[in-house]
Amino acid sequence: MSPDELRSVLGGSKFEKPAVIRIFREITSLVNAKTTHDLGREMVIRALDVRDRLPAEILPLLDSLVQTTGLLPYLNPESRKTLEDFALHEAHKIPNVEGEAVFHSLQLKIYNLIMSGINVVLSATTSVGKSMIVDSIIASSKFKKIVIVVPTIALIDETRRRLIRKFGETHTIITHQSQERVQGKPVLYVLTQERVLARKDLTDVDFFVIDEFYKLDLRDVYDERAIDLNLCFHKLAMQGAVFYLIGPHVHEVRGLAERYNHYFIPSQYSTVAVDVVQFNLPKKGEERLNKAVDLCTSLEDPTLVYCQSPSKAAEVAEALIGSNKFKPVKEMAPAVDWLSRHFPKEWTVIRALQYGIGIHHANVPRAIQQFIIRSFEENTVKILICTSTIIEGVNTVAKNVVIYDRRVKTSNINYFTFKNIAGRAGRMGSHFVGKVFILEEPPAEDIHAINLPIEEQTEHTPLPLLLDLPEEDLAPISRERIQGIVDVSPLNLDTIKANRHIPVEIQNEVANLIKTNSQLRNTLAWTGVPEGPQLNALCGVIFEYFGASATLKGHQIHSGEQLAACLTKLKYVNTLREFIEERLIFKRGGTTVSESVEDTLKLLRKYIGYKLPKQIMALDSIHRDVSRQFGSRKTANYEMYAASVEGLFIDSGLFALDEYGIPPELTKRFMRKDRVVNKLDDAINLILTADVAGMDFHPFEKTLLDNFRSNVRPNLE
């Protein structure tokens, strides 16, 4: 019986005893042979999926195969009868965890390696249960200062909620720059790489984790996030901390120095089986869209639909709505009503949610993203349409994955990314068998290797990576490159390093501009909050020199003065909807209301709230440097204004609550004129201790506040 025939038989509905005996003879043969053991484990998982339909006489054999393949978490407790069975169970029992939870064999191997002080680089499928290992290591109390590095804010939220449930009473859990460690208490930092680099208190870390470590690979020399992740790894690893790098489908890791004493495990181990259906439909035409509608209306289990971009996600959502095959979901009514009050009702996210269809991408506000993910987990949202935001480590209950596009943005995905997306089907403990539907032709299989550039510095190593390395870690060729820059720059090395993500040529150009234009230099010499001409000057330099023009023209902002006017409008509006409505006036011809909403949210999230504060502080440091050279007492200090811009002119502590599921529209109700809340923990305590009895909350707001209270513990002494 071939593997495909075996899969087909195990996917059936009826199992006669003679046929079952033949099936299990085949499975046993596969499991016992070293070359087919992984395939045998897959068949055991498929058999577990139909366990309740198998003859009772065959179940002891199934349990025996579960033990042999190391799938002990799936073992029926009643099957333990012999001393050997109990000994095996005790050997795999998770230490320091209440109950009968056990590791599977790969988890146990990794746990023992890390507890022995050996660094582990694990390449394995999403369903392996890699987080269980992290939690068990935390529970061991071996390490007192732990850093978990994740690629997205969404994954920070998922990880934080899990850790708070398990360790909220015993550990300080830090996710934000404004939070501080409680002395004498073990601490868990859950941060993106940018936040790791920004913190000054990570000097004595004894264990760290990098989730989705394949992002260390620097194939694009302009990839700021990959550069920062490499610097983050170097910062933590050079302290001698034990590390655990986690990621999928990597065959080789290059450039990891021997001094790190690491153990690379490229494992095919999986706890979920996957059925793959290929349609090979053309990129152009209506066939793919029609097939996506057919699948989403026929699949009963939770389904994830991957699209290459927010616009494609909207396209699929509108097609599903237009099919008239989805009925309004009453549980979504409060959320839909609230969203319609705070955003134009034409926004596709609102229209889709009404029918239990969620949309998840970077333009959707974080608190709304969290609500949609939670609704998907609770099965009130049955279809979740997403972009790459959901494939970067966030776990869901999806049994099915529909790969609508074979691209990320405009670039074709490689086999590695394709496997990563497909790996979101099924989940250990939820679904034994996941299903992946590929609408276009899948990419060809290839070998994926990860390169760490810090250990192998050449003349092509990105300069921003080198600028942040300690002198002793620079190769001779790198020292020469940096010295060559310093020799011709009007700026000192500290300024260049502080602005390492801005090309040195641009920094030099701006410095010379400020040097030679005394009027501009004087206009830029402000502190606190800028006046009109000062803000115009600031935005003018940023627009013309820091690459902002290319980004902003796509948002119908064509000059520094228009950027300044946009910021002023944002500062003084009463609601975000008011700002969105204002932006609708400037929408391009042929653009829908929903597209304009998406455009405004993208402007706020990706530029004003993220890139612009960095550009403001870059100009701050350049102006300070030039002013020192002139011996000027009057210099710039934009720190307060940059922080205000980053928080969209909401108190920074309160704005950070968006990461905790409280949207700015609700947060504003807790703002007070007599108090500025700049620390996240102060904002958390403000919400937890507020007298809300006299406040008139919308039912959806009550839901958000209840979820917030159940998922947060303030870091109090």
What class does CATH assign to 105-266? alpha beta
Distance CA 28, CA 664 (A): 57
Q: Which residues pair with 266 in a beta bridge?
A: 123
Least confident of 205-209, 229-233, 477-481, 665-669: 665-669
Helix axes 37-49, 17-32, angle to 10 degrees: 150
**Residue with the larger pLDDT of the pair 250 and 569:** 569
Over residues 294-304, mean pLDDT: 95
**Torsion from C-alpha of 330, 336, 341, 344, nearest 10 degrees:** -140
Task: Give the Å distances, CA to CA, from 192 to 176, 189, 240.
Answer: 9, 10, 20
With cut-offs at 50, 70 and 90, classify the pLDDT of residue 534: very high
Where does residue 344 rank: exposed (0-12), middle (13-18), buried (19+ CB within 10 A)?
middle
**Residue with the larger pLDDT of the pair 82 and 153:** 153
Least confident of 19-33, 150-164, 421-435: 421-435
* pLDDT one-digit tens code per residue, 350-389: 999 999 999 999 999 999 999 999 999 999 999 999 998 7
pLDDT at 717 over 60: no
Q: Which CATH code is given to the segment(s) 273-438? A: 3.40.50.300
Task: Give the Å distances, CA to CA, from 204 to 21, 179, 187, 210, 241.
Answer: 58, 17, 11, 17, 8
Over residues 510-537, mean pLDDT: 96
* pLDDT one-digit tens code per residue, 600-640: 999 999 999 999 999 999 999 999 999 999 888 788 999 99
With cut-offs at 50, 70 and 90, classify the pLDDT of residue 716: very low
- pLDDT of 430 reads 74
- 10 CB-near residues (< 8 Å, 6+ apart): 23, 43, 46, 47, 49, 50
Can you give the C-alpha Rg of the chain in angstroms?
27
Residue 188: CA count within 13 A, CB half-sphere: 26
Over residues 393-421, mean pLDDT: 83
Least confident of 148-157, 263-272, 363-372: 263-272
* pLDDT one-digit tens code per residue, 538-588: 999 999 999 888 889 989 999 999 999 999 999 999 999 999 999 998 787
- Please check whether residue 231 is in contact with residue 197, taking contact to mean a CB–CB distance below 8 angstroms: yes
* pLDDT one-digit tens code per residue, 659-688: 999 999 999 888 887 788 999 999 999 999
Tokens of residue 160, six digits: 């934080």
Other C-beta atoms lying within 10 Å of the C-beta of residue 261: 10
- Please check whether residue 246 is in contact with residue 444, taking contact to mean a CB–CB distance below 8 angstroms: no
pLDDT at 164 over 50: yes
Give the closest residue to 625 by CA, choosing from 512, 531, 477, 472.
Answer: 512
Tokens of residue 311, six digits: 């616009």
Tokens of residue 83, six digits: 């001393």
